[in-house]
């Protein structure tokens, strides 16, 4: 027995020599947000801090980190005479027990409103039950024999008086409930906002080992989810000549629970939320589609209409968007003052572009957009007018922007200014494959446009089993400006989808036809106070026993 005890003791001693007890020494370490790289969705945050450690193993506890932190993204880079042993991420549930005074006050008020609403709701329910009871028993008096007229009147008066009183009380309760529920919603929203803005309380614990007392610095990098940025542009044009001035800006948002105060801000055009895994192709199988019943076809058609409406409502033509109205008076463009954009450096990385803001920038944790200037560019521009009188009898001033490919632009909303006046919003689409960006600046009322049906070209005749119908239009363009204008005039001829319908005698009057779309385009130069006309003629032949759509 003695030998067994001695052997077990030696075995335990050897175990502790090989597997030492984990360090119990912990020190709190304060860190500050030093740099942030904001992606289109999410952000990479870098905290830095310094402290001193004693010889041995020390666990440095970094608290106050965001709750929406991707723990797999945590990276630690220590400096000093220490060895990094381990890094772990923890949620500090104990700190949640302490609520800020403001949050506690809001929750108490919300609880008070909840209680008052519950009391009034119970009161209303009791009144409704009393009303139902009176209505159920109002015939009792009439069913009893020997009831005098005076007694009957007394019963009727009671029912009338009490029912009116009940209705009045219910009305008063309903009015109070409306007010209290509005206040309840307001306090609910405020409580939720305050909870979101609470200082984050998660932590990273870094174990380091030192041979002697040493100074240690830590750089901790991690990814947070509730942050991002979106591009926004200001486009300023003179309207006649000269380049378009493009101001590239970003709306930065974050609601991480930690304010970014005077940080080194970088904006990246990548989106980590999209993932890095490339897609794989799977076999594409072909089969015979079984014919559908009439009811299935009707349901499918209704669904298709709904989808098409949804796409039409949600989509935006990224390259060309019309802007309504602008001032005719042209104002000289004042020189811009210095802005953050002058200190921004664009860096092309392997997969995207980054904009390093040269001045420290602050973004509070409030979920609201905070605008930062990225860059300013002067784009080579040519101006022209475009008119589509079939759809809108107004000429639009259009700017054609070139030399933009290397500006690292993203699709985004643009505020358009013409001659110093805000004319509306447009949308900039740098993802198009053309080398020229088209920007619609607004309507030019100084170009008068008219499209009329030619009266002498409206004949409809029958030839054998077919009908021939003539269509002719005259388009007039008048320039009331003091300088000549170049106008792109657009119209169209119909496109046949069946061999039974044919187009004949097409006269484009010098226009250029796109055979795939049926669009006809003229480039017209109009001198001051000059009127220029273009005509479009064609004949549609179709079977006389058929009805044609689209005419």
318-353 confidence digits (pLDDT tens):
333 333 333 333 344 444 445 555 556 555 444 467
Domain boundaries, the chain: 22-98+199-224, 101-196, 227-272+316-380+405-435, 454-543
CB 233 within 8 A of CB 339: no
Residue with tokens 């602008």: 326
Query: Measured between alpha carbons, how far is 141 from 382 in angstroms, rounded to an integer?
Result: 93
Instruction: Read off the pLDDT of each residue in 435-440 and give the average, rounded to a whole number.
Output: 79
The pLDDT value recorded for residue 52 is: 92
**What is the percent of the chain with per-residue pLDDT over 90, rounded to a whole number?**
31
Whether 504 has a pLDDT exceeding 60, the answer reads yes
Contact 362, 373 (CB under 8 A): no
120-146: average pLDDT: 73
- State how far the Cα of 51 lies from the Cα of 63, in Å rounded to an integer: 14
User: Which position has the higher pLDDT, 33 or 367?
Assistant: 33
What pLDDT is stored for residue 343 in this prediction? Answer: 59
Mean pLDDT within 391-404: 86
Residue 298 has pLDDT above 80, yes or no: no
| Contacts (Cβ under 8 Å, ≥6 apart) of 256 | 43, 45, 66, 68, 200, 224, 226, 227, 365
Residue 197 is encoded by which pair of tokens? 């803005």
pLDDT at 99: 60
- Answer whether residue 22 shows pLDDT above 60: no
Residue 12 has pLDDT above 60, yes or no: no
For every residue of 391-426, DSSP letters joined together read: TEEEEEEEEEEES-GGG---SEEEEEEETTEEEEEE
Q: Is the pTM of this model over 0.75?
A: no
Strand partners, 223: 44, 70
- Amino acid 18: pLDDT: 40
The residues pairing with 60 across neighbouring beta strands, listed in sequence order, are: 27, 206
Q: What pLDDT is attached to residue 90? A: 82
Cα(18)–Cα(11) distance, rounded to whole angstroms? Answer: 11
Cα dihedral value 50, 55, 57, 61, nearest 10: -30
Lowest mean pLDDT across 45-49, 82-86, 209-213, 294-298: 294-298
Task: Give CA–CA dist 491/498, Å, rounded.
Answer: 22
Q: Note the pLDDT tens digit of each residue in 80-120.
A: 999 999 998 887 654 544 566 777 787 888 888 888 888 88
Q: Is the pLDDT of residue 358 over 80?
A: yes
Contact 177, 117 (CB under 8 A): yes
Helix (H) or strand (E) holding 120: helix 101-137
């Amino acid at each position: 027995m003695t030998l067994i005890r001695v052997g077990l003791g030696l075995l335990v001693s050897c175990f502790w020599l090989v597997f030492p007890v984990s360090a119990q020494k912990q020190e709190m370490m304060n860190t500050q947000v030093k740099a942030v790289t904001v992606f289109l969705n999410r952000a990479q945050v870098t905290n830095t801090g310094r402290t001193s450690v004693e010889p041995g193993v020390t666990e440095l506890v970094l608290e106050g980190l965001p709750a929406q932190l991707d723990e797999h993204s945590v990276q630690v880079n220590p400096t000093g005479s220490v060895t990094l042993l381990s890094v772990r991420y923890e949620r500090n549930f104990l700190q949640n027990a302490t609520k800020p005074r403001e949050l506690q006050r809001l929750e108490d008020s919300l609880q008070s409103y909840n209680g008052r609403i519950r009391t009034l709701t119970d009161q209303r329910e009791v009144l409704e039950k009393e009303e139902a009871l009176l209505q159920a028993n109002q015939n009792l008096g009439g069913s009893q024999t020997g009831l005098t007229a005076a007694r009957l009147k007394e019963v009727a008066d009671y029912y009338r008086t009490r029912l009116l009183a009940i209705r009045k009380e219910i009305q008063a309760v309903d009015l109070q409930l409306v007010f209290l529920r509005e206040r309840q919603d307001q306090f609910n929203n405020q409580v939720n906002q305050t909870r979101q803005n609470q200082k984050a309380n998660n932590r990273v614990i870094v174990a380091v080992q030192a041979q002697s007392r040493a100074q240690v610095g830590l750089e901790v990098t991690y990814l947070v989810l509730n942050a991002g940025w979106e591009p926004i542009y200001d486009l300023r044009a003179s309207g006649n000549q000269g380049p378009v001035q493009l101001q590239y800006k970003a709306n930065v948002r974050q609601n991480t629970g930690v304010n970014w105060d005077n940080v080194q801000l970088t904006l990246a055009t990548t989106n980590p939320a999209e993932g890095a895994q490339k897609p794989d192709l799977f076999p594409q199988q072909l089969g015979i589609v079984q014919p559908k019943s009439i009811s299935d076809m009707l349901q499918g058609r209704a669904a298709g209409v709904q989808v098409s409406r949804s796409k039409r409502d949600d989509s935006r033509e990224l390259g060309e968007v019309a802007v309504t109205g602008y001032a005719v008076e042209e104002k000289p463009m004042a020189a811009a003052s210095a802005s953050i954009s002058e200190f921004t450096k664009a860096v092309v990385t392997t997969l995207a572009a980054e904009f390093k803001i040269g001045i420290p920038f602050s973004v509070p944790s409030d979920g609201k957009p905070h605008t930062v200037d990225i860059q300013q560019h002067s784009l080579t521009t040519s101006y022209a007018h475009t008119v589509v009188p079939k759809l809108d009898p107004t000429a639009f001033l259009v700017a054609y922007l070139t030399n933009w490919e290397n500006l690292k632009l993203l699709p985004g909303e643009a505020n358009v200014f013409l001659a110093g006046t805000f004319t509306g919003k447009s949308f900039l689409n740098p993802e198009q494959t053309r080398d020229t960006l088209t920007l619609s600046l607004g309507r030019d009322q100084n170009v008068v446009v008219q499209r009329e049906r030619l009266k002498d070209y409206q004949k409809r005749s029958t030839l054998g089993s077919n009908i021939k119908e003539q269509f002719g239009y005259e388009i007039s363009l008048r320039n009331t400006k003091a300088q000549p204008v170049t106008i792109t005039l657009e119209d169209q001829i119909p496109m046949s989808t069946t061999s039974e319908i044919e187009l004949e005698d097409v006269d484009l009057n010098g226009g250029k036809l796109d055979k795939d779309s049926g669009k006809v385009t003229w480039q017209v130069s109009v001198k001051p106070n000059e009127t220029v006309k273009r005509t479009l003629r064609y004949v549609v032949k179709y079977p006389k026993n058929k009805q044609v759509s689209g005419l």
